[in-house]
Chain A
């Protein structure tokens, strides 16, 4: 082989590697062009930082009762020195909760839970959903009919009600609530995966792999799954948002996280009858839930537009 052909081969290889990253790179670039997506990423960054550093950043422990330690009363309004709260009083940015704990610290610890909740439920649902969707789409026939009918039945119940029903069977608690939300979310991912499988199953590159003797798992994971990644990523990000919202709702109803867990929905639920006397105990946890859900929604929407070339012309 002459030096020239070697060079050409090298160039070719370079071109190919460039091409294979370029889709993700353009997607990233498009994502960063959208102000709303950047806002989402910034919020997510801050929340992740808080979640990772809660035990150092938080002025108090999440279950530290301040009776006898500081001159504070239960459900005392926020005291912020910068906003004119007397300097001789201890500073509590988000007030004191019903059990005389610093709510600001509890809110910080809550970020950790919410992120774990969102990501773990969606991971669970994605793994099971894609597996079921892949089997239904790839093998077709009876597999398809049975799996997709079961998914239809799951979708026939309003998701929150189904989650409540599942938690009843399993018993209340954070882990069971997560499991319930994960189960309820499975059909979404199964449908996305099945649709992707159906759209590429009969394409030449899949037939070629089959002709070369690739086994079904190889075909599914190496040939078909990469094509389904885009919708799965988008759906997954948006799914995290709705999972956090559902988990908060379950905890609000007393079916999810149990005290003294600093879960935002549970914190809000515990103090909901105090909304007229101590609004800060309802406002802050709910605001944090909204912010977290908002950031995943913004990122998800941004990713959908960034990864979908058809939408390139629309804003």
Chain B
């Protein structure tokens, strides 16, 4: 039953993936101006352009072009960035870890703080704690990410200078901190290109992961202190949303008869809340966490810009303003596919959490 359900959800996301391919394909062709100079830069000569158009098949019918494009994407061939003069895939391996680290830590923080806050507010309904949490949550969802980020930087990097609470306002690491990737520490030889080396390099650039498995505590401390402010900036909105949703989901469940029955038969309050109430309010909470990830990826553009982190969001934004279409296409595609996968995971966890869902 479960496998059938997963398979069905998976098949249902194929048209969406196809649509995403269509949108990213159309994006590059809708841009005003000719595609050759858009991709190779304004300085490309006539001959280079003619050769480029023939090589890329841009003189072929649009449907065939789309076919070629799908083939390239399926092989993971994202082309080159004319501006940075390097393969987009390499750029992705270089920049993705920053964003992954930032999004994961922001999501974790927002869940670890948001869910308990929501539960406590629901349990202590109408107490000062509940009112305070909700006031704070309302302000939290209304906060512009870029403003919060700048204000945090102002408070923690300037006002709290010379105190132990000082935090760095930009970058991933302080200059001079060694971030030798684990494969070099362990003396592995890694090839320049290929899938496995790509994955190893990607993992090696996840600073916290790298520091943990190589036991490099200085790197860990430095990476974490640099991550705190961006995480707070990016995590506040999802945290507020998750807290609100946890509260209202819990309130709805706790008003039901079986909760009273569970209490009446003498179960401890804590057991009732965690086992009977919380488990049943997980569904909307999981939904909202999945939705927050989208906002998180959008917010990453702003957070990375403010804190000087060269992650996927900032690279994509710079590529868009510089009209570097190789990057725009590939990065948009990767983010959208990632988003679809997240939604798939959310759907599957529904079925796991609530067996009734599998029957639809």
Contact = CB atoms under 8 A, between A and B. Distances in A.
Interface of A: 36, 149-150, 152-153, 156-161, 164-165, 168-169, 171, 241, 245, 248-249, 252-255, 265, 268-269, 272, 275-276, 279, 282-283, 285-287, 289-291, 293-294, 297-298, 301, 313-315
Q: What 3 pairs across the A-B complex have the smallest Cβ distances?
A: A286-B147, A160-B298, A153-B19
Interface string B82-122: 00000000000000000000000000000000000000000
A254 B146 CA distance: 13
A165 B27 contact: yes
B35 to A, nearest CB: 13
Given A168-B320, A169-B31, A275-B154, A297 B335 contact: no
A230 to B, nearest CB: 18
Contacts of A241: 142
A134 to B, nearest CB: 22
A207 to B, nearest CB: 26
Interface string B180-209: 000000000000000000000000000000
Interface stretch (B52-60, B267-275, B299-307): B299-307
A165 B335 contact: no
Interface in B116-138: 125-126, 134-135, 138
A156 B151 contact: no
B328 interface: yes
A289 B320 contact: no
Interface string B19-36: 110110001001110000
Nearest to B339: A156
B330 to A, nearest CB: 13
B146 A252 contact: yes
Contact of B317 (A164, A282, A283, A294): A164
Interface in B136-180: 138-139, 141-148, 150-151, 153-154, 157-158
Interface residues of B, number: 57
B332 interface: yes
A276 B157 CA distance: 9
Nearest to B158: A276
B19 A297 contact: no
Contacts of B158: 276
B336 A157 contact: yes
Contacts of B144: 245, 248-249, 252, 265, 268, 286, 289-290, 293
A32 B143 CA distance: 25
Interface string B283-305: 00000000000111111011001
Contacts of B142: 241, 245, 290-291, 293-294, 297
A275 B150 contact: yes
Nearest to A238: B141
Contacts of A160: 295, 298-299, 301-302
25 contacts: A149-B19, A150-B19, A152-B16, A153-B23, A156-B20, A157-B335, A158-B294, A158-B295, A159-B295, A159-B298, A165-B328, A168-B31, A168-B323, A169-B30, A171-B32, A253-B302, A275-B151, A275-B154, A279-B154, A282-B147, A286-B148, A290-B143, A290-B144, A290-B147, A313-B255
Contacts of B223: none
A59 to B, nearest CB: 25
Contacts of A298: 138
Greatest chain B CB density within 10 A among A160, A248, A269, A301 is at A160
A294 B301 contact: no
A293 B144 CA distance: 9
Given A153-B16, A294-B139, A254 B321 contact: yes
B295 A156 contact: no
Contact of B336 (A156, A269, A293): A156
A158 B151 contact: no
A159 B298 CA distance: 7
Contacts of A294: 138-139, 142
Greatest chain A CB density within 10 A among B146, B148, B255 is at B146
Contacts of A301: 138
A252 B126 contact: no
Given A164-B301, A276-B154, A149 B294 contact: no
Given A268-B144, A276-B158, 16 more contacts: A150-B19, A157-B335, A158-B296, A159-B294, A160-B298, A161-B298, A161-B335, A168-B321, A249-B144, A249-B145, A255-B321, A268-B146, A282-B154, A297-B141, A314-B251, A315-B251
Nearest to A295: B142
B252 interface: yes
Contact of A272 (B146, B332, B336): B146
B151 A286 contact: yes
B340 interface: yes
Contacts of A157: 20, 23, 332, 335-336, 339
Given A36-B138, A272-B150, A161 B31 contact: no
B67 interface: no
Nearest to A272: B150
B139 A282 contact: no
A169 B27 contact: yes
Contact of A161 (B19, B148, B301, B306): B301
Contact of A249 (B23, B302, B335): B302
